[in-house]
Structure 1
């Protein structure tokens, strides 16, 4: 399968331009996917440059690039520091992460990411991990489900949704996408496609601990980057974007209380390269509808 069929890399030209790639530098693509961003980075490196790529997905591993300058790490990017140390690749000149689910994952029904197909409620990015979306729906308490849909999906009637699932799951199996859609049909609010997308997003974030992994990535990128090195993160929903924006701005992973008596200002770690997030232009939006919600933030590590 060609990389472009697997996944069209979003904001490709903007990423390459803003990373300011040094030909002999060491770069990390933390989300390899179809390898589109990686190939573009590689084309700017000379024979002394290095590229370390991460992807925990078996399907992405099948797209790997046969090039002596590339090291493929088949693990979640939350283990960034450990594997860079292992491959003697610290410090690095740039770190890129595209946090979107690949088109291939959405379009493969049996992976359970999409509301458009029937298949097992799986949603694991890493098939070696144990927790699936079906297990969450089967075992989580009503309160925990409500919290999950509220926090990760911004679902307006999260309480009603959680109550419906817990009430009906004893009598109705919730193993597949269609079974789940039928179960929650009575409580779907507003535009059904948008509602289901929010519910599925919440489940996917929980299955893969996406926000936890992003926090780990941000902290470790700080550790491994050279002063002057750049970090480029592409997010696809407000939860991720807020986290990245906040971290670049003040080096904190949690929102700070605006306490007028707090004297401690954490030392500045990053200088934003982009004041506002970079979004897709007209041409890209026409060619790739999934770029619509992409936001790119780039920051440079201070000395």
Structure 2
């Protein structure tokens, strides 16, 4: 993952040129300090991690996680100047506690997630993420993790299941029509490649909608299938549930999201952790015993500047939220 949805690093590597999203904002809110331990849960090509090292004068320890082996190989080359200060693990960022335990880390001084699909994945037709390039209908961020590829979902799920995925994860108003079109098309021949699925979705749209659409009609459907294949909301939910416990007092968590459902999950978790007590309003005295554990640093999500969007159009939907671990009362 990462160097996400339009994100990608601050410079060039041997293999790729890429531009990481909202680097100044990440550094401002993560506030890396000398001697700290930091998690980049969506390492990608290492753009954000490289900037974190530079901001701390190289004197930090980094845990970098990514599902994509190619991204990890590239990030390791990029971060080589910092030698053994960076440790790399292939897998989902929801496994961060497992990887911390392997390193003998109890707590973190900072954690970063840059959600979405990486530029190298979007631009590789063989990965099947984009309807702009014909290729096998795959969409797995990490094929070694056992996720079912997108073509399996498209060809096996019922109408109701397809409709639910496309409607919920893609927020697609034509979800029912699209699901019916997929069912009809696969009854004649399995849907195995991105170009055919994109055409099926496009033809499912009413002609008037196709004529006036600002983006390709398949955009939301492809997004929904990608999120379902990689269990992206489930991964985020687990991370948000467990990250606060692993932050040291004063430690910070920064999340960049590209989807309203992701942003909503981050917003609600930060708000609930900052509020503490979750007893019903009609209970006069707190019975749950929960205390605030986070201080929200961003009242509203930060978005990229106009200049950044002009340089990197894939950054336009990015939203950044940050919070800080409070010191627990004695």
1:130/1:274 CA distance change after superposition, 3 Å: closer
Residue 269 of structure 1 and its aligned partner are, at CA, apart by: 2.4
Mark the runs of 5 or more structure 2 residues left unpaired by the alignment: 1-11
CA-atom RMSD in angstroms: 2.1
Distance 1:125 1:176 in 2: 17
Larger CA deviation: 176-185 vs 196-205:
176-185
Give TM-score, length-normalised by structure 1: 0.92
- Structure 1 residue 42: Cα displacement: 1.0
- Say if 2:176 is the partner of 1:159: yes
Alignment-derived partner of residue 114 in structure 2? 98
Go from structure 1 to structure 2 and tell me whether the alpha carbon gap of 1:8 and 1:48 turns closer, same or farther (over 3 Å shift).
closer
Distance 2:188 2:214 in 1: 24
Correspondence for 2:195 = 178
Alignment partner, residue 147 of structure 1: 164
Give the total of aligned pairs. 299
Distance 1:8 1:100 in 2: 14
Q: Does structure 1 residue 39 correspond to structure 2 residue 79? A: no
8 Å Cα contact 2:147/2:230 also seen in 1: no
Match of 2:228 in 1: 206
Q: CA deviation at 1:6?
A: 4.9
The equivalent residue for 1:232 is 254
How many angstroms apart in 2 are the aligned matches of 1:192 and 1:200?
16
Q: Look up the match of 1:121.
A: 137
| Counterpart mapping for 1:184-195 below 5 A | 184-189=201-206, 190=209, 191=213, 193-195=215-217
1:280 aligns with 2:296: no
Q: Would the aligned equivalents of 1:31 and 1:97 in 2 still touch at CA under 8 Å?
A: yes
Deviations 1:4-41 (A, max 9, x none): 93531100011011111111100011111110000011
Q: Which runs of 5+ in 1 are unaligned?
A: none
Partners of 2:113 and 2:15 in 1: CA distance: 18
How far the C-alpha of 1:130 sits from its partner, in A, is 3.9
CA deviations over 1:281-300 (Å, ceiling 9, x no partner): 12211111111100000101
